[in-house]
Structure 1
Amino acid sequence: MRLFDAHCHLQDPRILTYVPQIITTAQSLGVTSFAVNGVSENDWQSVKHLSQSHPSVLPSFGLHPWFVAERSPYWFNSLKQYFDSTPSAAVGEIGLDKGSHGRSIDFSEQVEVLKQQLELAKMLNKPASVHCVRAFGELLDIMKSMGPFPAGVILHSYLGSAEMVPEFSKLGAYFSFSGFLMSLKANKAKKMLKMVASDRILLETDAPDALPKANIDSLFFVEGDPSLPKELQGQSSTSSSALGTSLNDKSQVLTDASTLPKETLNHPANILLVLDYVASMLEISKEELAELSYQNAVRVFSYEGSKVLHT
């Protein structure tokens, strides 16, 4: 099986040191590519460097809504310069957030910054990876006013309603699913997934966040993660069923991800668990979902200058 992690953050300081091992482990399991999304002026250079160091890393540059208040007066010019110097880059992570974190950031500024970046994506004919929390109505209105988006808009970690799926699809949206999907009620997740056309489904990890809700013995951990309980330290890169037999007497307590500290880091290899879950909800085989999501990712990331064109 070939898999394509359509949205992650390998530049995150929590895992940056371990990226070579992380990529090697994920690739050994069939993950061929990693769309790595910058979130602020402070990490765009790190994303660019990762893409230069690792052929499997597809860079994306964007200003995430959480960092809108911290932007410099010249952020947009700087962003455009990154695209000028990095033709392989997509746009992202951008978006809107009215959740617990986003509530403290002026929403009108979030809208202004999002519109600028969507306009840039259209001008560059590149896909944009969009974060949206509790603002899907506003996002849909903005996309309707600016769209359609023939190069694609990736609704990353999509948790919106089933009813909105056709509306977003008409505008060029793809729907990317991460471990966060497992936090929805199963019947709601299933209804929403069934509304997504097979040529619009993507899979992602959002690593190092969005650890899937799964049994510990099926999870992959990031080597060196300081939040891991001692009995899981050193098991990070082998994971698999070996973990189940290596746990000490606490194994009765540490049974699944919900029993781990909330800071536990997610590994891109856990895209296999997202694949399992989405395939079960759609009632199709893992192999079928892996291939169609892979082909969808290749299509959306095959813009002019993209690394995908050369793989």
Structure 2
Amino acid sequence: MLIDSHCHLDRLDLEPFGGKLEGALDHAREQGVKHMLCVCITLDKFSDVRDIAEKHDDISCSVGVHPLYDGVKDTDVDALVEHSKHEKVVAIGETGLDYFYNKEPENHKLQQESFRKHIQAANQVDLPIIVHTRDAREDTIQILKEENAQKCGGVLHCFTESLEMAEAAMELGFYISFSGIVTFRNAEELREVCRRVPLDRILIETDSPYLAPVPHRGKSNQPAYVKEVGQFVADLHGLTYQELCEVTAQNYQRLFSKSNI
């Protein structure tokens, strides 16, 4: 079973599909994608994400505020908890820390406060968290530990960091998800990390519409392209494509158990 464990269906480029989301979804299904997790990045757009998931049996969703969005300063635990009660919501996030684009300490403080609130909400409702992390390795792991994130568990999505960080996260029970970046020519260090992550801790994703894998790099990404990510990761681990699909599907179902696939 092929699963795209992280995509933004409300943000896809639908021009190739006549402006219709159904076209993109059908194309993914034609490529063997059996389930998609549509990830929320702003609370004011949560209803769009939720509505997409409500209309399709093979789509789940999350609720959260991405660290790079202005709404991060208004993160509210009660709001996250309330939205998470919807039957289609299987995770909290995406949340986390991104110090790459904004170097201001005050902004980092806002991100950290929001991150903590997401973990608190996730622990309260017993749902996993989806973590975005970039150039914030020490703070990410420290906050996960301080907020007892091992209780809710989760995934470091679109992983691009070090093996040491991956190992620290896995010690807390987290999964590591690889996107199309692992196929990029200059990503050899990331490929080595992928080889070293145990199979029972790996997920695959597109993060579409961003970061399309080779041979689609430069194009707008879409869930159908998780097939290329899966084949590439299978090759790195010396598995058949089908074996990789089954392993990552089992991991997905174990982590996002509310999906009921």
Counting only pairs closer than 5 Å after superposition, residues 196-207 of structure 1 correspond to structure 2 as 196-207=197-208
1:31 corresponds to 2:30: no
Counting only pairs closer than 5 Å after superposition, residues 183-262 of structure 1 correspond to structure 2 as 183=184, 185-214=186-215, 219=216, 257=217, 260=218
Q: What one-letter code is carried by the residue in structure 1 that aligns with 2:53?
A: S
Equivalent of 1:56 in 50, 55, 58: 58
Larger radius of gyration: 1
Aligned length: 257
**Structure 1 residues 96, 205: closer, same or farther in 2, change over 3 A?**
same
Tell me if the contact between 1:176 and 1:204 (Cα under 8 Å) persists in the aligned partners: yes
**Structure 1 residues 138, 72: closer, same or farther in 2, change over 3 A?**
closer
**Structure 1 residues 13, 176: closer, same or farther in 2, change over 3 A?**
closer
Deviation at 1:86, TM superposition (A): 4.1
| Residue 110 of structure 2: aligned partner | 109
Counting only pairs closer than 5 Å after superposition, residues 51-200 of structure 1 correspond to structure 2 as 51-67=53-69, 69-71=70-72, 73=74, 75-86=76-87, 88-100=89-101, 102-103=102-103, 106-183=107-184, 185-200=186-201
Separation in structure 1 between the aligned mates of residue 247 and residue 48 of structure 2, nearest angstrom: 31
Deviation at 1:163, TM superposition (A): 2.0
TM-score (norm 1): 0.76
| Residue 254 of structure 2: aligned partner | 299
**Structure 1 residues 137, 186: closer, same or farther in 2, change over 3 A?**
same
Separation in structure 2 between the aligned mates of residue 201 and residue 57 of structure 1, nearest angstrom: 20
Equivalent of 2:49 in 47, 50, 60: 47
**Structure 1 residues 51, 87: closer, same or farther in 2, change over 3 A?**
closer
Separation in structure 2 between the aligned mates of residue 268 and residue 87 of structure 1, nearest angstrom: 19
1:3 corresponds to 2:5: no
Separation in structure 2 between the aligned mates of residue 118 and residue 74 of structure 1, nearest angstrom: 12
**Structure 1 residues 194, 45: closer, same or farther in 2, change over 3 A?**
same
Tell me if the contact between 1:200 and 1:296 (Cα under 8 Å) persists in the aligned partners: yes
Judge which range, 12-21 or 281-290, deviates more: 12-21
Tell me if the contact between 2:75 and 2:117 (Cα under 8 Å) persists in the aligned partners: no
Tell me if the contact between 2:182 and 2:191 (Cα under 8 Å) persists in the aligned partners: no
Deviation at 1:13, TM superposition (A): 6.3
Deviation at 1:130, TM superposition (A): 0.7
Separation in structure 1 between the aligned mates of residue 224 and residue 28 of structure 2, nearest angstrom: 5
| Residue 286 of structure 1: aligned partner | 241
Deviation at 1:56, TM superposition (A): 1.0
Unaligned runs of 5+ residues in structure 2 are none
Tell me if the contact between 1:41 and 1:71 (Cα under 8 Å) persists in the aligned partners: no
Secondary structure of the corresponding residue to residue 91 of structure 1: strand
Percent of residue pairs bearing the same amino acid type: 27
Equivalent of 1:269 in 224, 229, 247: 224
Tell me if the contact between 1:276 and 1:286 (Cα under 8 Å) persists in the aligned partners: yes
Secondary structure of the corresponding residue to residue 43 of structure 1: helix
Q: What one-letter code is carried by the residue in structure 1 that aligns with 2:62?
A: S
Separation in structure 2 between the aligned mates of residue 186 and residue 132 of structure 1, nearest angstrom: 17
Judge which range, 182-191 or 169-178, deviates more: 182-191
Secondary structure of the corresponding residue to residue 61 of structure 2: strand
**CA RMSD for the aligned pairs?**
2.1
Deviation at 1:194, TM superposition (A): 2.5
| Residue 12 of structure 1: aligned partner | 11
Secondary structure of the corresponding residue to residue 208 of structure 1: coil
